[in-house]
Structure 1
Amino acid sequence: MKRFIDQWRGYFGDLPPYSHYLREALPERWVRFHALPEAKRYAETPEEEAVIFHRARILGNRILKEGQKCLFVEYFPNFDEYPLPYSHKLLDQFRLKYWFKWKYKEDPFGEQETLGFYGNEVRWFPEVCREALKDAAQDEERFLLMNRETSRIVAPYDGGFDCFLLNGEEVARLKNDYKDWLSPSDSGL
């Protein structure tokens, strides 16, 4: 795990691989897309699940590039000692190893939250991640994928995808290309 920690720190310093924190620390690199039309949060039908996967596949292929080496990081909140995951599905599927735990020094949510991180190298193939993406969309799993060569990130969550690019220009291009997936308040370029 040391090589992943070193690589992460090479890109992000002491920032943790946690999308909520990254978007506060790197707002110029961040954009959020909705997983469903009209900002609907949860899929209720197989057709809506298909829309979520379609958008995840498109954003993942655009940002991570299909077949590229990625760091898969799963995180778990509110565990003080040795953080344990919600389930072992992703740990087993992606052979994730315990990485480290991290605590907000100044938690913006006022909870002094502690997070545990597990990670491993994977290759981005949308079909391989289909169930993980479905679980994230239902708030059953929390993870992000970072392209190891570029540091670009896709972090699915229940309601959408937090994406971290290299700079504001890339963010503006992606917003323009998928403007129908943005919140009305975020669609200004």
Structure 2
Amino acid sequence: MESTHIQEARTVHCCQCLICKKETFFQTKNPKMKTTRLVLLILKSLKVLKPQIEYYSLVKDILPFINDHLPLFQNLKIFQNGKWRKSILDALNHSAQVESGREVCKNRGFYKIKEEENKVVIEKNKIKDEMSNNLEILENELKRSLRLLEEMKMIQTNEIEKNETLFICESKRASISIIQNLQLLLYHLN
């Protein structure tokens, strides 16, 4: 029943979540992704869409999110059979990176990414931002250096042209001087 629902859903959902940003990956013929990795992506996506919520409800948040994104998930192996809900639940319950909200929410079916995982993601994002900024600075410096090299080349080209012109002028003067001296010698010989 679930697999037919997947085949009926043809339109691709697009929001600002991490999963929609990876749309091309999910639309490949046989994308390889472990269920635990998918669950982490779903929880991270929910954190982007609903940052005010600490623990996400399986019934009210996670499953509706999955249903909204079924067109993207249809090529994943776990969605090829009718047991994807059980696979998702198993991944949520057994992942070392997912924390259950059973104690806090006083009920089963609430989940969030463990704080250590969030800290790692935040640190990775900080590093990415820093690298991106450094790359931009490097790119600007390279452009500036290239402009300077081009200016130096123009100056050198101008200097070479000046030197060639001077050499030619000096050669002409020397040639004229030699010719004049030869003419004088010829004149004195006659």
Please indicate the TM-score interval, normalised by the length of the shorter structure: under 0.3
Structure with more of its chain in helix, by fraction: 2
User: TM-score, normalised on structure 2?
Assistant: 0.21
Structure with more of its chain in strand, by fraction: 1
User: TM-score, normalised on structure 1?
Assistant: 0.21
Higher relative contact order (CA 8 A, sep 6+): 1
